Each structure stands twice: as structure tokens, then as C-alpha cells.
């Protein structure tokens, strides 16, 4: 971190972003608003390139290109958690990489992530490591069916996952996820999925937006509502868990913590229990509503944090609904523009492939 | 306009922008949000280049470069009204130039502009053309002192203007504005300066934001408040005048019409009279508050209009104040970031020269 302390970031500086997708693009747009330039590094051209002052096409394994990239910027951040550890090390030797690399290490591997959470006393689904078909059989015997087999690394939007149902052939299930190192998770009988989007500053300051509630279709986020329809004490507990996670990681930047809300009804007792599902050490799809419906967007907040600047207010305007535009849903853009209550965001992707996030629409109720 | 009709603009298209200053930059950022690319053409590098997918460094007289630029984009717009007529013609032969070139012709020359307004029955300050020192003497004899001598073309932020006071040497005053063709304007004893920012779509649809009120320091906009502290019927009249101007020009895009409000108090009668001062055929500094405090920003609205898309809602959130950050005022950026009620915008200009617009801050009261 010494390079960081020696070079405070001021307006006019260039921030480095790994990844040229919509998250990198929206980070670059937020940086521009604050008078910063963006330099995006990615192995493939993406919509982020169109709004960045500079871009580098390079593999994440190209250490010379990474080093030159790091030396051209004031601070490095990323739009995705699968930054290889060695790439992060090459960058961190030259410039501050924020969120800090330990946050990558803790969240890239589902087993490491769950053990990290368990170490903090934060509830997760029951889980067991699975390194071969034999281990899967033993784990299923312990956690029961249905349960979910997930690759430890590189899963997203439901990829690298398989349900272990009654009667399923365990060897076939294990092959279906590619035979990679995995974990088996018990199924959590949740009533809702929520996420906490929060930021931690270089000085340890903390700011969370209101907990939001998420609906998925085909494992892809479809709808986010803010605030989540949960009890105030449940929301407070979710935010407190998030802060505990960020403090433990000496985190700087925006984080997303996805949680399940389980409703327990016993005679005379109704309660909501939180179970952490996943941590994303980055800006997150379920925080896109903050662009239109909060004083400070998650993208501006992330930029403020990694620059060592004060965090902004997370105050929300009204009740909010954010819908993703997946694949051909984005073809409705003209109708959405005609709806005066809708704020349309399109990511500038060339091709509307099925399952691809093309944009989103935010609506504020009663604003 | 035939090229236009043949090529409707859809997301993924590139819009062309003449000018690389903060207005071009904020237009490019608004276009990006809607999934459009920006190609900026300018004779000098500017902060717009940092957020545009493509830029061309070229003189406004370089017809080959202009032609290539036009052919690379779906539609051409501009951030300033002093686009040379011949440049506009070169562009318009290839792509739609919007707002349409007649809007440039009507507003580049103060004499033409005032005659255009007079032709519409819209009140202006009294004015007379001044082409030499002798004409100035005759005009001063008619309009009295104090009065204001202004170059017909290329004036902005108070440049190319001189006050004709009691006892002033008229030949010296005329020389002080460079001896260019000019007009002499009578001084309007205004109570307030206001502006109407409005948009007109390709289909003739019209949408205005609430009239706003402006304060200048050293001829540079310092503060804009929305809504203006004027009577509802005065505001309605200001918007109606603006629509009349836009319809007369077959305008497409965002316009700014600056007006003086004169309070007349006669026995038994209090009234507010509007006098149009100036028309800017483009997005305008006094509309910057719409980024943070209206459903649709002036930049997004301009992009929607020139693309032939539906206009968005101009609804305002709360009472708004926008302050420009001129020159070294932008050095206060860290304090402004620490004020949770302030939305900071910095333009990414390299050098904080005196009188240079470096950024702005929007505050919403009671949001």
C-alpha cells in the first residue's frame, strides 16, 4: 500500500479498471463526472472502451502489459472478482489495487469464502468440500437431497452449478460441472433473496444503501426492489454483517453481499434469519438503482473510495424498482423511452445474445 | 433532411458532436447511458475527447475532415453556436445536422437574432446596427446612455461588449470591441435574469423544464436557481415564447432562451414584462441542474431529440441551486465531496485558468 499513500488521487488523475463490461463502463462514466480519466484493461474489446480515455487490450496473464498499465494510472480497480492472484500481485507491486487483493482471495473460491464467513460467525448454508465423486457421495449422505453442487471457482449467473435431486446419479452430476474442485451446499428454504451494497473508505468510514430485494430468472438477476420487504431489525443485522465482513478484509470500495432471508415460525415466535450466500468484491447489478434513485450512485461511491475521497450520502429517493433488460428485452428501448417514469440505461453491447445483460430500467415510485 | 429520414438512429449508433468542451463531454456521457457512441470533432483537444469512443482533431474549415466525420456518424450536433455556415453546409449535405442550420444562422449574429425575434413579435431590448463610429454616434443619440455596444458575432461571457457611459469617447468605445460590425442595445432595467431550457422533438413535440433564474458575476453565469422567483403567468409566457421561437426555426434539440424580467409598477398595476436577451441553440450552463434534479437531463433530452426518439419527462425534484466552479473555485472539490447535499461535477480540464468553467455543484433543497 505504500505506493498508494505516496500518490493521493486528485481530479485529472487516471484510474485503472480491469474489465470492459457494463460495470467497468459505468465506473468510467462515474469517474468522468468527477473529473477523472479512465484507463480500461481487458482481454477483449467491450462497451467500457467506448467511454474510457484510454484502453489496453491484453491478457490477464500478460505481466508486461499489466505492469505498463499499472504505471499509467493512479490506482487500480476491477469490475469482476476473478482477477488471477498473480495478475493482482503484478499490479499491486506498482499501484494500490482496491478493493485490496485479500478481498479477491476470500471471494474467488466458494470454499474459502464460506470458511471466511464461518470464521466471522456469520451464518452460511451448510457446506462440505467435494474433490471427487466419492467425496460427493459422502457429502450428500451428510447434507441430504436436494442439495447443490457448485464449482469452487469461476461460477456466475448459475454457471458451474448442479442440483443433486432424489435418485440423481452422483457421478453424472459431478461430471456435469466439469469435475472441478467443488462444494456441496445444503438448500436454504429462503423466503427472499436480499443484498447489501455498501462502501468502505480508505479511512475505515462505512456507508450502506438500504437493503434491497432481488428476484432471479434462470439464475440471472431479473428484478431488484429497494427497500427490501424485511423487518427493520433484519435490515440492520444485514448491514452489520456486511460491515463486519468489510472490516475483516480491510476493504476499500463498494461490496455486495447476497443473503437469503429465512422465515422461522414457531409457536409464539416469528423471526427472520439471515444466511449469507455470496460476496462480490465490486459494484453489483443489484445496486444499479442507485444511479437514478440515490444521492450517490454505487459507481461514484466506488470511485470516491478507491481515490481516498469522502464517501457520499446513500440516501434513497422513494421506492425503487430496477429491471434488467436481458437479451432481446432491450429491443423494447423505444417503448421504455416513451414511459416518462422509467430511466433507461443501455450498455452499448453489439449483440443481444440470449441471457446477456443489455441494459436496465429504473422506476421510482412516488418520486 | 433526406439522409436523416433514411437512417433512423438506434442504440449502438454513433452521434457526432462538434466541440470538445464540457458541453460536448456531458452530451457524450448522456449518449453513452443510452447505448450510443460519440465521435467528437474539434480543432483542439478538450475534455470531451476523454469520454468519446472516437475523436477527430480538425479545423472547422477542413472540409475533407468534416466530410469524413459526417460519414462516420448517424447524426451531427454541436456544443456551440459559432459553427461556421460553410462547415454546417458540408456536414448537412451528408447527415442531418440538428439543431438545423437555420437555428445557427438565426443566433450567430445579434442583429439577425433580434430581427428574427422582432419578426415573431417577441420583445427585445431596443437595438440599432452599428457599422462604424459615425453609426455609433447616431445610435447613441437615439437610444441614450448608458447603452451597450456588442459585436454582432462571436461574443460570449461578456466578451465583445462595451458599456457606453455618460462622457465616453465613442470612437474609443468602438475601437475597444475591435471595430467589428456591432449593435447598440438599450439597457433593460431588469429585476431578474431567467432562462427557459426546452426541447423540441423531430415530430414537433415540445417539453420545457421549469423556468430558472440566473445570476452572473463578471458576465459569467455564477448561480442558477430553479424554479425562478417569478409569477406563474410570467413563467407560462416565457415558455410560450420559447415554443414560438422553436416552432419558427423547425427546431430539433435543446434550446436555451435567456430573458430579462422587468417589473413594472404603476398605480393599481404590478406586472412582470419579459424581454428576450439571447438564444443559445444548444444545451446551456443554466440547465446543468437537470442532471441531478430532473427526471431527464438536458443532455439526455438533446440526444433523444436529435435521434428522433421520444422526449423524456422534465419533472423537477425539489428546489434546486446550481453553482458554477470558476477557475480556482474548483480547488474546493474535497470539501464539496464532504457535503452530503451537494452533487459535484468536474469537467476534467487540465488547468484552472481565471474565468474558466471547471465544474459545477448542484444542491437540491428538501429532496
Q: Is residue B253 part of a domain?
A: yes
Looking at the structure, tell me whether residues B261 and B154 fall in a common domain.
Answer: no
Closest chain A residue by Cα to residue B297:
A343
Domain that holds residue A154: 126-186
User: Which residue of A12, A31, A33 is the best one to mutate when testing the B interface, meaning the one whose CB has the most B CBs within 10 A?
Assistant: A33
Q: Is residue A48 part of a domain?
A: yes
Looking at the structure, tell me whether residues B218 and B351 fall in a common domain.
Answer: yes
Q: Is residue B112 part of a domain?
A: no
Q: In chain A, what residues touch B333 (CB-CB under 8 Å)? A: 11, 35
Helix (H, G, I), strand (E, B) or coil at B343: strand
The pLDDT, as a whole number, for residue B351 is 87
Asked if B25's CB is within 8 angstroms of A29's CB, the reply is no
The pLDDT, as a whole number, for residue A7 is 60
Instruction: Provide the pLDDT confidence category of residue B1 given band limits of 50, 70 and 90.
Output: very low
Q: In chain B, what residues touch A314 (CB-CB under 8 Å)? A: none
Along the 367 residues of chain A, how does pLDDT read in single tens digits?
Answer: 444 444 679 999 999 999 999 999 999 999 999 999 999 999 999 999 999 999 999 999 999 999 999 999 999 999 999 999 999 999 999 999 999 999 999 999 999 999 999 999 999 999 999 999 999 999 999 999 999 999 999 876 678 899 999 999 999 999 999 989 999 999 999 999 999 999 999 999 999 999 999 999 999 999 999 999 999 999 999 999 999 999 999 999 999 999 999 999 888 888 999 999 999 999 999 999 999 999 999 999 999 999 999 999 999 989 999 999 999 999 999 999 999 889 999 999 988 889 999 999 999 986 5
Question: B13 touching A, CB under 8 A?
Answer: no
The pLDDT, as a whole number, for residue A272 is 96
Q: Is residue B204 part of a domain?
A: yes
Q: Give the list of residues 6+ apart from residue A335 with CB closer than 8 angstroms, or none.
A: none
Looking at the structure, tell me whether residues A78 and A168 fall in a common domain.
Answer: no
The pLDDT, as a whole number, for residue B238 is 98
The pLDDT, as a whole number, for residue A8 is 79
Asked if B49's CB is within 8 angstroms of A346's CB, the reply is no
Q: In chain B, what residues touch A37 (CB-CB under 8 Å)? A: 50, 348
Asked if B330's CB is within 8 angstroms of A11's CB, the reply is yes
Q: Is residue B231 part of a domain?
A: yes
Q: Which of A143, A160, A186 is the last residue of a domain?
A: A186
Q: Is residue A105 part of a domain?
A: no
Asked if A295's CB is within 8 angstroms of B338's CB, the reply is no
pLDDT tens digits, A211-249: 999 999 999 999 999 999 999 999 999 999 999 999 999
Looking at the structure, tell me whether residues B201 and B349 fall in a common domain.
Answer: yes
pLDDT(B270) > 70: yes
Asked if A12's CB is within 8 angstroms of B348's CB, the reply is yes
Q: What is the dihedral of CA B40, B45, B47, B48, to 10 degrees?
A: 0
Q: Which of B186, B211, B236 is the last residue of a domain?
A: B186
DSSP B29-43: HHHHHBT-EEEEEES
Task: Please name the residue that has the C-alpha cell 420583445.
Answer: B123
Asked if A25's CB is within 8 angstroms of B32's CB, the reply is yes
Record the pTM.
0.96
User: Which residue of A17, A25, A51, A308 is the best one to mutate when testing the B interface, meaning the one whose CB has the most B CBs within 10 A?
Assistant: A51
Q: In chain A, what residues touch B312 (CB-CB under 8 Å)? A: 337, 340
Looking at the structure, tell me whether residues B83 and B226 fall in a common domain.
Answer: no
| Number of domains observed in the structure of chain B | 3
Q: In chain A, what residues touch B37 (CB-CB under 8 Å)? A: 50, 348
pLDDT(B234) > 60: yes
Helix (H, G, I), strand (E, B) or coil at B296: coil
CATH number of the domain where residue A232 is located: 3.30.470.20
Question: B341 touching A, CB under 8 A?
Answer: yes
Residue A203: phi and psi, rounded to 5, are -90, 10
Which range is least confidently modeled, A285-299, B145-159, B288-302?
Answer: B145-159
Looking at the structure, tell me whether residues B157 and B283 fall in a common domain.
Answer: no
Of the candidates A364, A102, A359, A240, the one whose C-alpha atom is nearest the C-alpha of residue B294 is A364
> What H or E segment, with its residue span, contains residue A56?
strand A54-57
Between chain A and chain B, the number of residue pairs with CB atoms below 8 A apart is 98
Minimum-distance CB partner of B35 among A28, A338, A348: A348
Q: Which of A160, A186, A212 is the last residue of a domain?
A: A186
Looking at the structure, tell me whether residues A236 and A146 fall in a common domain.
Answer: no
User: Which residue of A26, A35, A290, A333 is the best one to mutate when testing the B interface, meaning the one whose CB has the most B CBs within 10 A?
Assistant: A35
Residue B211: C-alpha distances to residues B23, B229, B259, B297 (Å): 20, 9, 10, 14
What is d(CA A172, CA A136) in angstroms, rounded to the nearest whole number? 11
- Report A:92-121 residues touching B (Cβ under 8 A): none
Closest chain B residue by Cα to residue A9:
B334
Q: Is residue A319 part of a domain?
A: yes
The pLDDT, as a whole number, for residue A150 is 95
Looking at the structure, tell me whether residues A310 and A236 fall in a common domain.
Answer: yes
Q: Is residue B105 part of a domain?
A: no
What average pLDDT score do residues B338-342 get? 92
In this prediction the ipTM stands at 0.94
User: Which residue of A8, A10, A11, A73 is the best one to mutate when testing the B interface, meaning the one whose CB has the most B CBs within 10 A?
Assistant: A11
Of the candidates A119, A47, A80, the one whose C-alpha atom is nearest the C-alpha of residue A351 is A47
pLDDT tens digits, A297-342: 999 999 999 999 999 999 998 999 999 999 999 999 999 999 988 9
The pLDDT, as a whole number, for residue B269 is 82
pLDDT(B42) > 60: yes
Asked if B51's CB is within 8 angstroms of A11's CB, the reply is no
CATH number of the domain where residue A175 is located: 3.30.1490.20
Q: In chain B, what residues touch A29 (CB-CB under 8 Å)? A: 29, 32-33, 51
Looking at the structure, tell me whether residues A25 and A138 fall in a common domain.
Answer: no
Helix (H, G, I), strand (E, B) or coil at B316: strand
Asked if A34's CB is within 8 angstroms of B346's CB, the reply is yes
Question: A335 touching B, CB under 8 A?
Answer: no
DSSP A327-364: GGGGGGHHHHHT-TTEEEEE---S---TT-EEEEEEEE
Buried b / exposed e along B11-35 (16+ C-beta atoms within 10 A): bbbbbbbbbbbbbbbbbbbbbbbbb
pLDDT tens digits, A339-362: 988 999 999 998 888 999 999 999
Q: In chain B, what residues touch A330 (CB-CB under 8 Å)? A: 11
Looking at the structure, tell me whether residues B81 and B220 fall in a common domain.
Answer: no
Q: What is the dihedral of CA A177, A179, A185, A186, to 10 degrees?
A: 80
Question: A348 touching B, CB under 8 A?
Answer: yes
Buried b / exposed e along A168-205 (16+ C-beta atoms within 10 A): bebeebbeebeeebbbbbbebebebbbbbbbbbbbeee
Looking at the structure, tell me whether residues A268 and A330 fall in a common domain.
Answer: yes
The total of other beta-carbon atoms located within 10 Å of residue A271's CB is: 12
Looking at the structure, tell me whether residues A220 and A331 fall in a common domain.
Answer: yes
Average of per-residue pLDDT values in chain B: 94
Minimum-distance CB partner of A51 among B51, B312, B340: B51
Amino acid at each position: 500500500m505504500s505506493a498508494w499513500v505516496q500518490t493521493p488521487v486528485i481530479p485529472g488523475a487516471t484510474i485503472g479498471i480491469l474489465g470492459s463490461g457494463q460495470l467497468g463502463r459505468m465506473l468510467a462514466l462515474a469517474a468522468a463526472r468527477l473529473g477523472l480519466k479512465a484507463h480500461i484493461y481487458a482481454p477483449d474489446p467491450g462497451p467500457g472502451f467506448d467511454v474510457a480515455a484510454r484502453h489496453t487490450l491484453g491478457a490477464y496473464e500478460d505481466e508486461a502489459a499489466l505492469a505498463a498499465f499499472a504505471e499509467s494510472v493512479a490506482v487500480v480497480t476491477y469490475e469482476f472478482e476473478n482477477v488471477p492472484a498473480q495478475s493482482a500481485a503484478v499490479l499491486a507491486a506498482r499501484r494500490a489495487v482496491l478493493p485490496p487483493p485479500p478481498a479477491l482471495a476470500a471471494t474467488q473460491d466458494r470454499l474459502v469464502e464460506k470458511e471466511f464467513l464461518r470464521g466471522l460467525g456469520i451464518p452460511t448454508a451448510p457446506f462440505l468440500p467435494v474433490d471427487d465423486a466419492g467425496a460427493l457421495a459422502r457429502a450428500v449422505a451428510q447434507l441430504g437431497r436436494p442439495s447443490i453442487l457448485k464449482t469452487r471457482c469461476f461460477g456466475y449467473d448459475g454457471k458451474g452449478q448442479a442440483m443433486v435431486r432424489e435418485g440423481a446419479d452422483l457421478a453424472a452430476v459431478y461430471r456435469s460441472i466439469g469435475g472441478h474442485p467443488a462444494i456441496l451446499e445444503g438448500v436454504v428454504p429462503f423466503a427472499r433473496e436480499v443484498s447489501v451494497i455498501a462502501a468502505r473508505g480508505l479511512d475505515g468510514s462505512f456507508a450502506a444503501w438500504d437493503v434491497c430485494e432481488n428476484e432471479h430468472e434462470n439464475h440471472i438477476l431479473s428484478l431488484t426492489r429497494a427497500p427490501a420487504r424485511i423487518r427493520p431489525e433484519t435490515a440492520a443485522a444485514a448491514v452489520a454483517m456486511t460491515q463486519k465482513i468489510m472490516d475483516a478484509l480491510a476493504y476499500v470500495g463498494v461490496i455486495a453481499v447476497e443473503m437469503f432471508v429465512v422465515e422461522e415460525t414457531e409457536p409464539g415466535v416469528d423471526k427472520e434469519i439471515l444466511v449469507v450466500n455470496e460476496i462480490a468484491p465490486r459494484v453489483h447489478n443489484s445496486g444499479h438503482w442507485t444511479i437514478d434513485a440515490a444521492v450517490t450512485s454505487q459507481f461514484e461511491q466506488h470511485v470516491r473510495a478507491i481515490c481516498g475521497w469522502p464517501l457520499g450520502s446513500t440516501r434513497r429517493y422513494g421506492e425503487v424498482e430496477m429491471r434488467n433488460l436481458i437479451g432481446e428485452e432491450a429491443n423494447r428501448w423505444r417503448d421504455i423511452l416513451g414511459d416518462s417514469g422509467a430511466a433507461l440505461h443501455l450498455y452499448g453491447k453489439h449483440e443481444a445474445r440470449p441471457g446477456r445483460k443489455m441494459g436496465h430500467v429504473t422506476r421510482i415510485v412516488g418520486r
